[in-house]
Structure 1
Amino acid sequence: MSDILWPAGYVPGFTDNFCSNEVIVAGLTTADIWPFLAEPLRWSGYYANSSDVAFHDGAGPVLEQGDRFFFKTFGFPVEAQVAECVPPVEGQPARIAWHGWSGEGDTRLDVHHAWLIEDLSAGRVRILTQESQKGEPARELAKAKPNPMINGHQDWLDGLVAAAFAAKA
């Protein structure tokens, strides 16, 4: 199975917080999942922790490499820029990742949030999402029990899968 590609400074284990969530589901494909990730205006329809999506510089509604956008999540207003965008192509995983930031000074949070979607044998799809974070808010999130990032991203995955199945019905 494939791995997330990490930019310098965001390799897990060397940042202030890291979370990883994954599902493997039968009956969906990478192509079924992709539009629900690559079109941020869809996020709030299946993930309650996302709102107020806006695009900068004429970008959108489908994310592309280098696009700047804004959204709110986990109580943070996040500015983001797409760092990786590889749409589905047969035989290789689809990838989308963004660098997101919020706050200033001691409240500054910087993240690299990455998604990897790949078709597996027997009609299954693997969806992996990982986020590596830096800054004081990340250090605080890392101490929280239960972990809000793990739980929130699991909600995102579960909603994503449900939305993709509903679209196929």
Structure 2
Amino acid sequence: MQMNAIIWPDGYTPGFTDNFCSNEVIVAGLSAAEVWPQLSVPARWPAYYANSANIRFHDGKGPVLENGVRFYFETFGFPVESQCTEYVAPTSGQPGRVAWHGWTGEGDSRLDVIHAWLVEDLDGKRVRILTQESQKGKPAVELHNTKPNPMINGHQDWLDGLVAASRKVKQA
């Protein structure tokens, strides 16, 4: 079985940006359809990912992400304005995909990121959740040079929390 990959917009191809992180889990007993509601509704994030807060949508949109929708949240100490650049809910045989362009700061403190997620069913009643982030700007260089990389650790917490929240909903 061939696994799917993140689709990167121009200017954010990993290896050509200032920082990149990739985290992935494959777990048994969950499906993409069971995970998707915990990811696609940002208001649910703080319940399972402590590094997200103060989520709000712009222009009367929400609570579910969709292509083009603007939203705001705080993470890693940054106030992040965001716009959803890809949104495809999972269906039978097709992975779920969601990505957003996030930005914060100005001038030398400007940080631009594409944060993308892929949620796909695998054989044996398993689900694969891949999250990757490609970053540009001086803060991204600083994050890249910090060891351990706080983005890798933070996104692993997000993945672990997403799986735990999805299992909890499934058992309810």
TM-score, structure 1 length as denominator?
A: 1.00
- Show CA shifts across 1:20-46 (max 9, x none): 000000000000110111100000000
- Show CA shifts across 1:63-103 (max 9, x none): 11100000000000000000000001110110000000000
Structure 1 runs (4+) deviating above 4 angstroms are none
Q: Percent identity?
A: 70
Counterpart position of 2:52: 50
Query: Among residues 25, 38, 41, which one is paired with 2:43 in the alignment?
Result: 41
Counterpart position of 2:89: 87
The SS at the match of 1:6 is: coil
Q: Distance in 2 between matches of 1:69 and 1:3?
A: 25
Contiguous gaps of at least 5 residues in structure 1 = none
TM-score, structure 2 length as denominator?
A: 0.98
The offset of 1:146, in angstroms, is 1.0
Q: Distance in 2 between matches of 1:48 and 1:57?
A: 26
The SS at the match of 2:34 is: helix
Q: Distance in 2 between matches of 1:29 and 1:47?
A: 20
Q: Distance in 2 between matches of 1:54 and 1:138?
A: 24
Counterpart amino acid of residue 110 in structure 2: R
Q: Does 1:100 align with 2:102?
A: yes
Q: RMSD across aligned C-alpha pairs, in angstroms?
A: 0.3
Counterpart position of 1:59: 61
Counterpart position of 1:123: 125
Q: Distance in 1 between matches of 2:150 and 2:113?
A: 15
Query: Among residues 164, 167, 171, which one is paired with 1:165 in the alignment?
Result: 167
Q: Distance in 2 between matches of 1:166 and 1:35?
A: 13
- Show CA shifts across 1:97-153 (max 9, x none): 000000000000000000000000000000000000000000000000111000000
Query: Among residues 135, 144, 147, which one is paired with 1:145 in the alignment?
Result: 147
Counterpart amino acid of residue 165 in structure 2: A
Counterpart amino acid of residue 86 in structure 1: V
